[in-house]
Structure 1
């Protein structure tokens, strides 16, 4: 039985969006031992209408192509292989997972009116009989100049992502489409500085406790200058 040639992946570039929990400077190994680079970008809905149409069209076309290939494999298969292939064909289904969706407010659970797209790529690919393949995204400035040593990229940064539409099919998740992260263009950096009261959602009250004026005494960081005042992101900061 001949092996079908894998079609070349379609490539695209996202509009400029706002990064949410980017893991771009180093791979995240919390859920994948081999590491994964990833980020979500937030957009106004009209910004990604064309991208969503392309994703759904490519997903449907890839599903039909794989189904047709399986049907051809069933017909050509030896009797001992036919039952297994028929079961695989019957199990083919469209998955519910999507690389885009609505953004919901963390506090109220209500839609914010924005949409997200999620991009990810493997940091390490294990190859049998060959050295592991180490991967990382390329980085570019807003003018298109390659960045050899990228700066720290925090949530709130304005980015565009070059990505490949990569179909997948698993028994658990069904058939879906992954947006494989290939390269990052940095349009505006957020430095991840410490949030003020409004950033945490606190309002203002004219009554109650008020902190005394800070005269610089009593702090373990007093006299450290700009180095101390720069701030370190807390564990709940978006990065």
Structure 2
């Protein structure tokens, strides 16, 4: 059964949560999957408008699924299904709600056509000006993005529920956070007001010691990369 088509949709900006945009995740799916879960503030008007649109698409696709059921028995069964929410509540490490909502976008990374031809794909990644990034940086959690998505939907008989599944097409990178990058604020380092504190001079050229230091390191067998931090 052909599914009703909708134009692709651009989300408001959201914060990425455990994104897999640079390489597909193959842990659970051998064909690989790109994912981009975004966290949003549900109180923002543009986010509320997005939710309303997603719910409208979900409900229309559900009605289309029922109306085009193959048999009267299947139609009757579908009429008893419930629809799944289009977002989930974000929880912190203690299981408490953070006040943000999450929407997960996915893209299958590879597959085979009905004619037996293999194919691969990846999401488009664009900068804040809309220019495609040919060699994108590693996009980590906390990066601020907008997602372009298409809509898939379908019933899950085991749950007797109809789900909307936003399909990842591309992302617009507005603010980059790389994996493992943390600010002083993230680590709880406030300004130390004690006298004699070290203040960095980032305008000064870096120095790594003179020839004596290099000779000493060589005599001790150091290679600058094998020691523990």
> 1:159-198, aligned counterparts within 5 Å?
159-173=145-159, 174-193=161-180, 195=182
Superposition deviation, residue 133 in structure 1:
2.4
- Give SS of 1:7's match: coil
List gaps (5 residues or longer) in structure 1.
74-84, 203-221, 232-239
TM-score scaled by structure 2? 0.73
Q: Which runs of 4+ in 1 moved over 4 A?
A: 194-202, 222-225
Q: 8 Å contact 1:13–1:161 — kept in the other structure?
A: yes
Q: 8 Å contact 2:138–2:179 — kept in the other structure?
A: no
- Give SS of 1:10's match: coil
Q: 8 Å contact 1:142–1:185 — kept in the other structure?
A: yes
Aligned counterpart, 2:30? 33
Structure 1 stretch 155-164 or stretch 86-95: which is displaced more? 86-95
List gaps (5 residues or longer) in structure 2.
190-221
- Give SS of 2:125's match: strand
> 1:45-60, aligned counterparts within 5 Å?
45=42, 46=44, 47-60=46-59
2:73 and 2:89 map into 1 onto residues whose CA distance is 35
Q: Aligned-pair RMSD on alpha carbons?
A: 3.0
- The total of aligned residue pairs comes to 193
Aligned counterpart, 1:218? none
Q: 8 Å contact 1:9–1:166 — kept in the other structure?
A: no
Q: 8 Å contact 1:91–1:171 — kept in the other structure?
A: no
Higher fraction of helix: 1
Superposition deviation, residue 63 in structure 1:
0.9
Aligned counterpart, 1:236? none
Aligned counterpart, 2:76? 90
TM-score scaled by structure 1? 0.71
**CA gap 1:200/1:90 in 2 versus in 1, 3 angstroms:** farther
- Give SS of 1:116's match: strand
1:152 maps to 2:127: no
Aligned counterpart, 1:212? none
**CA gap 1:41/1:89 in 2 versus in 1, 3 angstroms:** same
Which protein shows a greater Rg?
A: 2
